[in-house]
Amino acid sequence: MLQPMEILVATYNRHKIEELEPMFPSHRLLAPSDVGLGALDIEETGVDYFDNAMIKAKALYQRSGLPTLADDSGLSVAALGGAPGIHSARYGALDGSAKLSSPERNALLLEAMKGIEDRRCAFYCCLVFLYGEDRFLSVQETCPGLLALSPSGAGGFGYDPIVYLPEFGRTVAELSPDEKNRVSHRGKASQLMNAMLRAAGNPASRA
């Protein structure tokens, strides 16, 4: 039987929380600020999405004691050997320079792909639900597409305006919220995670 939970989301990105909320309608998702946690400097030193999601989940769980949902996501471009990948949020700033804005990162990536015919790419999302010491659920999903030649659309955030989905004939930023939740990497991962939570009831309540 499903038991509603208060779940701390290990992100300071309100856009991510807003995207996750419809996927977990039976639970209350909390931002770190909702439980009195200010900004934390969490060093993401993992080698893949799972590692970084777990690092974030543990950092927030250890400070709050609450079941914690952490997400690590990024965009992988085939012609760039999978870059920017786990460095997507810091793309263009790995040498210690100031973090770029989303439009600046998008412009930099499109410039790097200028003249390249192979536009295959995919969004990745790994979710980790940490509910005890070394007790967790995890799922990873993808959203494959093609890198557009220029940005299009005002919805979404991050790389959404430059990822074109052939099945829709639109970029991710041009999808409605319902469409995006259905096919996006985060949407698919969230649906699977919610299904696991429904099957488990409230795992955080069990010793």
- Residues annotated as part of the active site: 72
CA distances from 130 to 54, 62, 108, 121, 172 (A): 8, 10, 35, 29, 29
Distance CA(12)–CA(4), nearest Å, equals 23
**Residue 157 φ/ψ, nearest 5 degrees:** -165, 175
Q: Is 53 left (phi over 0), alpha (psi -120 to 50) or beta?
A: alpha
Residues with Cβ within 8 Å of 168's Cβ and at least 6 positions away in sequence, in order, are 174, 175, 179, 183
Distance CA(21)–CA(27), nearest Å, equals 8
Asked if residues 190 and 136 have their Cβ atoms less than 8 Å apart, the reply is no
End-to-end CA separation in angstroms for the chain:
17
